[in-house]
Amino acid sequence: MVLVYNTAPFLPECFDSLLEQDYRNIEIIAVDDTSTDESLAICRDYERRHPNFRCISKPNEGGAVSGNLGVSLARGRYVALVDSDDVVTPGGYRALMAEALACDADIVVGRAARLTSGGISSTLFLQEPHVWHRRRCIADVREFIDIHHDGFYWNKVFRTEFLREHQLGMVPGLLYADRPFVHAAYWHSRCTAIITDLVYLWRVREERGQPSITQSARQGDNFRDRLRSATIEWEQFRDLPDADEYRRAIAVANLQRALFTAPGIVASPAFRQVFITSMQELLALYGDVDCRALGARRCLYLELIKRGEVEGLCFLLGITSERGWIAEIDGACYWKQPFLDNPEVPLPRAAMRLEFPNIGFFRLRDISLDEDSLDLTLDLHDRIMEGCAVWFELHSIQGEGSWEFQPEGRIGEHRWRYRLDLRGRECRPGSVYGLVLHYRTGDGIHGRYRIGPAMVPPGWPASLPLRSSLGSLRFSPEAGGLGLAVN
């Protein structure tokens, strides 16, 4: 089912990607939401030429209503939702349906990537690649709560009767309607399968004109809708005691997504007012949600938002340096900036504490590749390292496993060495392995980063690629950071 609204330049590519699927048992329902461009005419043309293509034209009520209508009209055992400016890979539905039928799954999730003018990229994804990096099947969302990071509807197939049985749909009028819908579906599912196949390409619109919803994130009405979606998610799990951990994990992720738009308040007074007021309301609703997993920078931003310290927030957001200064106090590390122990703006130190690697407070000092090993040196404050476990891996973008580095210990003040033995490694030619840093604190905070340009010394990327007979190490859009491309 395809949600169509004013995407005429992209519709033929989208529709052709569906009609040319390896999996042939497909009915396509295009729901046009009263487009003002040529979209409806294109839909009608495809309907005339293809017997398995239906076009529905309806009053303009938003994508959520269109999606719900499409699901209600679906006649297949499984249903998928597609945005009309995107593309499904040729084998996407074959892979999803093979897993769905093999597992009798309620939901099957596949890997997605961004489609840019330069090709396929994972760079703009944050935590989602962790969801997709290996195959698994879960009977209860609490077995793999991190699945919540993938709140998209379009890289999946849903069992049609499952959606109808639990009355799962999108909230009419809500722009960010996918996340409450998908997270509720995960909760009710008794078999959610994840595959590593690339099934969906999410287009980054680079032309002038009407931007996509996500590309309008720093507009006031768009931001209010984003936080309304977060509020709906918080409320929909309120009376489910067993869902508390899941609910809180979703809340923290929604705060992180909201803070992604925060730099927009520096230059826009209008957006600033909307942002501060809306965030204060959401934080009051969330109450005592533990936000430490967001890191010291974001925790301090949230503390300033709560207290209405707008000028201070703008000041911190305006700092352009990628490097953060560290103050060691009583054996712990803190972000050293003007609000640390400032009597004029009394903020809790805890909001500035560095308990694990935070972007800007660590980096790779060097990395070397030869026939036998891949070696790297991590710059990270000794006190931070004492309080958590830190490890690296190369994980296959195509789901072919991962290779974990061995720690070689401290080699100097705030400096740590890791080595990956490459001897005897067997891998498919053309495979791409992304470099990932993982961490876990003693009280259970855990996370990961793909290693991007901000995590290496300035100018260091000019030394890439590094080559060996196994492959080459470089910044890879497909890996979303440093990646090893196998020869």
461 pLDDT band, cuts 50/70/90, is confident
When pLDDT is averaged across residues 357-366 and rounded to a whole number, the result is: 94
Find the angle CA(17)-CA(20)-CA(25) to the nearest 5 degrees.
110
209 pLDDT band, cuts 50/70/90, is very low
Distance CA 425, CA 162 (A): 43
Place of tokens 């009263």: 34
Q: What is the pTM of this model?
A: 0.94
Distance CA 420, CA 403 (A): 8
Q: Is the dihedral of CA 1, 75, 111, 227 positive or negative?
A: positive
66 pLDDT band, cuts 50/70/90, is very high
- Residue 293: per-residue pLDDT: 96
When pLDDT is averaged across residues 181-206 and rounded to a whole number, the result is: 95
218 pLDDT band, cuts 50/70/90, is low
208 pLDDT band, cuts 50/70/90, is very low
- Which residues share a beta bridge with 390? 439
- Residue 320: per-residue pLDDT: 60
Contact in structure between 33 and 66 (CB atoms under 8 Å): yes
Distance CA 292, CA 389 (A): 16
211 pLDDT band, cuts 50/70/90, is very low
Say if residue 465 is preceded by a cis peptide, omega within 30 of 0. Answer: yes
When pLDDT is averaged across residues 90-94 and rounded to a whole number, the result is: 98
Distance CA 72, CA 169 (A): 10
% residues pLDDT > 90 (the chain): 89
Which of 485, 372, 375, 382 lies closest to 427 in space, CA to CA? 485
- Residue 117: per-residue pLDDT: 86
When pLDDT is averaged across residues 284-299 and rounded to a whole number, the result is: 96
pLDDT higher than 70, residue 217: no
Distance CA 467, CA 445 (A): 36
For residue range 14-51, list pLDDT tens digits in order. Answer: 999 999 999 999 999 999 999 999 999 999 999 999 99
Distance CA 439, CA 385 (A): 10
For residue range 411-420, list pLDDT tens digits in order. Answer: 999 999 999 9
Find the angle CA(398)-CA(13)-CA(69) to the nearest 5 degrees.
90
Decide the pairing of beta strands 2-4 and 82-83: parallel
When pLDDT is averaged across residues 228-245 and rounded to a whole number, the result is: 95
Supply 380's token pair.
């990270």
Let me know how long the chain is. 487
322 pLDDT band, cuts 50/70/90, is low
Distance CA 448, CA 403 (A): 15
The upper half-sphere exposure of residue 90, i.e. CA atoms within 13 Å in the direction of its Cβ, equals 2
CA distances to 42, 82, 143, 367 from 439, rounded to whole Å, are 50, 35, 20, 19
For residue range 114-146, list pLDDT tens digits in order. Answer: 999 889 999 889 899 999 999 999 999 999 999
- Please name the helix (run of DSSP H) or strand (run of DSSP E) that holds residue 185, with its range, or none: helix 178-188
321 pLDDT band, cuts 50/70/90, is low
Distance CA 300, CA 350 (A): 9
% residues pLDDT > 70 (the chain): 97
When pLDDT is averaged across residues 75-102 and rounded to a whole number, the result is: 97
320 or 331, which is more confident? 331
| SS3 state at 407 | strand
Which of 367, 360, 415 lies closest to 394 in space, CA to CA? 367
Domains observed in the chain? 2-203 (3.90.550.10), 217-352 (no CATH), 363-486 (2.60.40)
When pLDDT is averaged across residues 443-463 and rounded to a whole number, the result is: 90
- Residue 215: per-residue pLDDT: 45
Query: To 10 degrees, the CA torsion angle through 283, 287, 290, 293?
Result: -10
